C-alpha cells in the first residue's frame, strides 16, 4: 500500500510539474510568440520582396532593351525614309532637268537679212548654254508675204555631219551664225511695200530625246521679188 501511495504521489508530482512547465511554455509563447511570428513573417516578406524586386528589375531591363531596339529601329526607319525621299527628289529633279532645253535664246537677238527669192540670207542670234546635250540639229522656217509657211533651203552648217557645232558652257552669251536660201520653187510671195516676213529657227537635240524642240524668237525681214 505504501508503495502504491508513493507511486501515485510521484505521478501527481510529475503531472503538476508538467502542468507547470506547460503553463510556463504557454506564457512564454504568449510573451514572445508574436515577436517570433513577426520576425518570421518579416524575414519571409523580405525574401518575397527581394525576389519580386529582382523580377521587376529583370522585366524593366527587358523593357529597356526592347525600347532601345524600337528606338534604334525607328531611327533606322527614319533614316531610310529620308534617303528614299532624297532619292525621289533627286530623280524628280533629274527628270525635270532632262526636259529643260540646254540653251536659252536672248530676247530680240535674232536677226535675218533681207533678200530676193532664191538668194541666201544671213542669220545671227545670241544664246546662253546651260548644259551639254550633244550637237544640236537646227532647221530654219519663215512666213512669206501671204502668211504662208515655208522652210528655208540649203541651210549652212559648220560641221560635216550637218549639225551645228556646240558652244561651250558659259553664262556669257554666245553668237550663232548661218546662212539659208529663200526657195525659188515653193511659190514664195514677196512681202511687198512696207511688209515683212518673219523667220525663226527650230533646234532639237538627238542626244537628249526628252527635250522638246526649241523655237527661237522670230525676226522680221523683207522678201523681194
Domain of 143: which CATH number?
2.60.40.10
Query: In terms of pTM, does the model score above 0.75?
Result: no
Q: Are residues 37 and 75 in the same domain?
A: yes
Q: Are residues 19 and 87 in the same domain?
A: yes
**pLDDT for position 23:** 47
**pLDDT for position 96:** 55
Q: Are residues 107 and 94 in the same domain?
A: no
Q: Are residues 117 and 73 in the same domain?
A: no
Number of domain units in the chain? 2
Which residue, 49, 68, 99, sits at the end of a domain? 99
Above 70 in pLDDT, residue 94? no
**Which residue range(s) make up the domain with 204?**
103-224
What length does the chain have? 225
Q: Are residues 111 and 183 in the same domain?
A: yes
**pLDDT for position 133:** 87
Q: Are residues 56 and 112 in the same domain?
A: no
**Around 89, how many Cα atoms within 13 Å sit in the side-chain half-sphere?**
6
**Around 27, how many Cα atoms within 13 Å sit in the side-chain half-sphere?**
6
Q: Are residues 88 and 107 in the same domain?
A: no
Q: Are residues 72 and 22 in the same domain?
A: yes
In the beta sheet, which residues pair with residue 150?
Answer: 142
pLDDT digits (tens, 9 = 90+) for 120-133: 999 999 999 888 88
pLDDT digits (tens, 9 = 90+) for 167-188: 667 778 888 889 999 999 999 9
**Sole residue written with cell 546662212:** 179
Q: Are residues 76 and 141 in the same domain?
A: no
Q: How far apart are CA 155 and CA 73, in angstroms?
A: 65
Q: How far apart are CA 116 and CA 150, in angstroms?
A: 15
| Better pLDDT: 87 or 46 | 87
Of 132, 139, 125, the C-alpha closest to 101 is 132
| Better pLDDT: 97 or 182 | 182
Q: Are residues 129 and 192 in the same domain?
A: yes
Q: Are residues 9 and 107 in the same domain?
A: no
Which residues touch 141 (CB under 8 Å, ≥6 apart)? 149, 150, 151, 152, 199, 200, 201, 202
Amino acid at each position: 500500500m505504501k508503495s502504491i501511495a508513493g507511486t501515485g504521489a510521484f505521478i501527481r508530482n510529475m503531472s503538476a510539474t508538467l502542468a507547470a512547465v506547460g503553463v510556463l511554455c504557454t506564457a512564454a509563447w504568449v510573451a514572445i510568440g508574436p515577436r517570433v511570428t513577426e520576425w518570421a513573417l518579416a524575414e519571409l516578406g523580405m525574401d518575397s520582396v527581394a525576389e519580386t524586386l529582382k523580377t521587376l528589375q529583370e522585366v524593366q531591363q527587358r523593357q529597356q532593351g526592347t525600347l532601345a531596339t524600337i528606338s534604334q529601329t525607328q531611327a533606322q526607319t527614319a533614316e531610310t525614309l529620308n534617303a528614299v525621299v532624297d532619292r525621289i527628289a533627286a530623280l524628280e529633279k533629274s527628270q525635270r532637268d532632262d526636259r529643260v532645253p540646254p540653251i536659252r535664246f536672248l530676247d530680240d537677238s535674232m536677226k535675218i537679212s533681207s533678200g530676193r527669192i532664191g538668194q541666201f540670207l544671213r542669220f545671227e542670234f545670241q544664246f546662253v548654254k546651260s548644259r551639254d546635250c550633244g550637237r544640236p540639229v537646227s532647221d530654219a522656217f519663215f512666213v512669206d508675204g501671204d502668211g504662208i509657211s515655208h522652210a528655208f533651203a540649203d541651210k549652212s552648217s559648220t560641221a560635216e555631219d550637218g549639225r551645228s557645232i556646240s558652244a561651250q558652257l558659259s553664262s556669257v552669251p554666245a553668237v550663232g551664225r548661218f546662212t539659208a536660201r529663200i526657195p525659188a520653187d515653193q511659190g514664195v510671195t514677196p512681202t511687198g511695200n512696207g511688209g515683212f516676213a518673219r523667220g525663226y529657227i527650230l533646234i532639237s537635240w538627238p542626244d537628249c530625246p526628252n527635250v522638246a524642240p526649241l523655237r527661237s524668237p522670230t525676226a522680221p525681214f523683207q522678201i523681194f521679188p
